[in-house]
Structure 1
Amino acid sequence: MSSSLLIRFLTVALIVLSSKAGAGYNANFQGKITHVLTYTNSAQILIKVDGQPTSHPTCSTLDYLAIDADTPDSIRHQMLARILAAHASGEVVTIGYDKDGDCVGTRIRVYRVG
């Protein structure tokens, strides 16, 4: 492989990797959690929050927000405890999400509940 071809390959690889690294938690909104859905056939958690985004550039299903089933169990359980406490008390929480992409299936991925 010639050195110029290797440099081009590395440049493309760095661009691809840096664009993926930029995905993630980059926006917040506040609201009360109005619905919490869990299922016996999935570890995914769905929530509905007053004031949640009504449009998104890549996520097309905007009825609920999602905590991905791939989130480690201990973290997902911690988030569910926080969600249930906020839901039961009617507390306003801050939801962190990716306003530009990174969906769970077709739903907006939740990164933070605080």
Structure 2
Amino acid sequence: MKFKLFYILLVLFCGNTNAAYNNNIRGEVKDVYVYTDHDAIYFRFKNQPTSHDSCKPTYFVISASIPENRRNQLLSRLLLAKASKENINIGFDSIGDCANGYIRVHRVG
């Protein structure tokens, strides 16, 4: 009974999120950028989109809000793809929530 009540309360008090994984693109990684003053990861594809509904399309961004261990996994995948010139598929938000003003990434694969 306690667990049922817990889950009901969890559902009622969870805030809505605007981030949505709603599109994919496949391409070759052109550039990867990391900075010392924040934890977000920026990268571009050779076939980078030239437009976006609400974000600047210049970069894809893995948000600093992603836990460090996951960011490190995604960064490793990006660097491996760049070094091997492999085309990879990423999942991103094509309409809404931006990360640092750029296209928010939800998956690198």
Which category of TM-score, normalised to the shorter sequence, fits these structures? 0.7 to 0.9
| Per-residue deviation, 1:50 | 2.0
1:39 aligns with 2:35: yes
Work out the CA distance in 2 between the residues paired with 1:46 and 1:80.
10
How far 1:22 sits from its partner (Å)? Answer: 6.3
Q: Secondary structure at the match of 1:42?
A: coil
Q: Distance in 2 between matches of 1:37 and 1:21?
A: 26
Greater fraction helix: 1
1:80 maps to which of 75, 89, 94: 75
Q: Which has the larger radius of gyration?
A: 1
1:1-114 → structure 2 map (5 Å cutoff) = 20-21=16-17, 23-59=19-55, 61-114=56-109
The equivalent residue for 1:11 is none
- TM-score normalized by structure 2? 0.81
In structure 1, runs of 5+ residues without a counterpart are 1-13
Displacement of 1:51 after TM fit? 1.9
- TM normalised by structure 1 equals 0.78
**Runs of 4+ that moved beyond 3 A:** 20-23
CA RMSD of aligned residues (A): 1.6
Percent identity of the aligned residues? 43
Distance 1:104 1:21, change over 3 A: closer
